[in-house]
Amino acid sequence: MQDEIVHDAMKIFFYEVYEEERVCLARMLPQGWQADFIASTPQEAGHAVPPAPHISIRTQSLIPANWLHDVSSIISRSTGYDHLVALKRLTPKPGAALSCLPKYCGQAVAEHALMLWMALARKLRAQLSSIQSFNRDGLTGSELKGRRLVVAGVGDIGYRVVAIGQALGMQVYGVDPEPRHEALRYVSLAEGLAMADILVCAMNLTENNCGLFSIGQWRRARPGLLFVNVSRGECSPFQDLLLALNEGWLGGVGLDVFNHEAEFARLLRTGVPADSQELSAARELLQHPQVLFTPHNAFNTQEATERKCALTIDQFKAFESCGQFLHQPPALSW
């Protein structure tokens, strides 16, 4: 009788897992698979060697380059994958299979952007503070109808932001090197800054837009502009945002993503003093009355969590079955 082939059980280590996600992933794991979950990143956990043959991360994890030759696969539970491209560039020879997730959270992120700009327009932070005295002084906000909304980066998320703005009766404009939507009016970034009441950054990160929203750009803006970033923090450095707020070019800032995000998150988690001017500016912004920060949480809805976990498990199933992922951007291929 032919001997039965016995396959090793899939062993996966999940980093950066929040509780609701852990419950969802554990529920979807196929029988026989082994998985461990922690909320921290590899650098925070102090892992010098990979804890499993298969690794899943999010955007704050800094994977040592040598791990690419010690593990079989790495999946980032994110739509973006620039951090995986950067990791891949550190080694000249082929290594672990790399992947991310296809679009699973576009609506969630677009709605989060709306939440941030509405909160800024209606001075929500000040309102929450003023309830203690029931004082309305300085709380007069702005209605959105008729206001000019500029969306920088009109991809999946950006176009959903456009649709939300249009539904609210706003004048909506797009900034994008590839104007794909005929019904949307596109403008240059300089034109958008000069006219916008609200600017939402929904760009993917490239070599050309890292640090794009510098103080030089903000000084072209219509004074009092509200700025929201839900895509990549590297596009909007902290020091430039703080200077633009103090000079009056920006009237408010809402961030769900942050420059040097892994270091900033570690600073907040551990309470260690900031060791750079950029992180010191981040600390100052965190206390600013016209600034709202959320913990890179725009993707985090019940619906998106279910989609993300299902896609993650499907990706690992495909890899177990045939050694390839269902979704692998060309930039991640060896």
Q: What is the mean pLDDT of residues 167-182?
A: 97
pLDDT at residue 7 is higher than 60: no
pLDDT at residue 4 is higher than 90: no
Nearest to 215 by CA among 189, 190, 188, 239: 239
pLDDT at residue 2 is higher than 60: no
What percent of the chain is modeled with pLDDT above 70?
A: 98
pLDDT at residue 115 is higher than 60: yes
Pairing type for strands 171-175 and 185-186 reads parallel
**Amino acid identity, position 44:** E
Do 78 and 105 meet the contact criterion of CB atoms below 8 Å apart? no
CB crowding 134-171: b at 16 or more within 10 Å, else e: eeeeeeeebebeebbbbbbbbbbbbbbbbebbeebebb
Beta bridge partners of 190: none
pLDDT at residue 98 is higher than 70: yes
Q: How confident is the model at residue 275 (pLDDT cuts 50, 70, 90)?
A: confident
Pairing type for strands 225-229 and 171-175 reads unpaired
**Residue range 185-204, pLDDT digits in tens:** 999 999 999 999 999 999 99
pLDDT at residue 259 is higher than 70: yes
Domains of the chain, each with CATH number or no CATH: 11-104+302-332 (3.40.50.720), 106-293 (3.40.50.720)
pLDDT: is 207 or 316 the higher one? 316
Do 211 and 234 meet the contact criterion of CB atoms below 8 Å apart? yes
Q: What is the mean pLDDT of residues 274-292?
A: 94
pTM, full prediction: 0.90
Q: What is the mean pLDDT of residues 310-329?
A: 95
Looking at residue 5, its pLDDT comes to 33
Looking at residue 8, its pLDDT comes to 66
Do 205 and 155 meet the contact criterion of CB atoms below 8 Å apart? no
Average pLDDT of the residues of the chain: 94
Looking at residue 3, its pLDDT comes to 38
Nearest to 52 by CA among 31, 32, 67: 67
Q: What is the mean pLDDT of residues 269-277?
A: 86
**Amino acid identity, position 21:** E
Collapsed DSSP state (helix, strand, coil) of residue 245:
helix
Q: What is the mean pLDDT of residues 227-236?
A: 97
Among the residue ranges 70-84, 210-224, 245-259, 266-280, the one predicted with the least confidence is 266-280
pLDDT at residue 9 is higher than 90: no
Token pair belonging to 192: 């958008």
Q: How many angstroms separate the most distant Cα atoms in the chain?
A: 86
**Amino acid identity, position 95:** G
Contacts 24+ apart (CB under 8 A), 28-36: 28/309, 28/310, 28/313, 29/313, 30/313, 30/317, 33/9, 34/9, 34/10, 35/11, 36/12
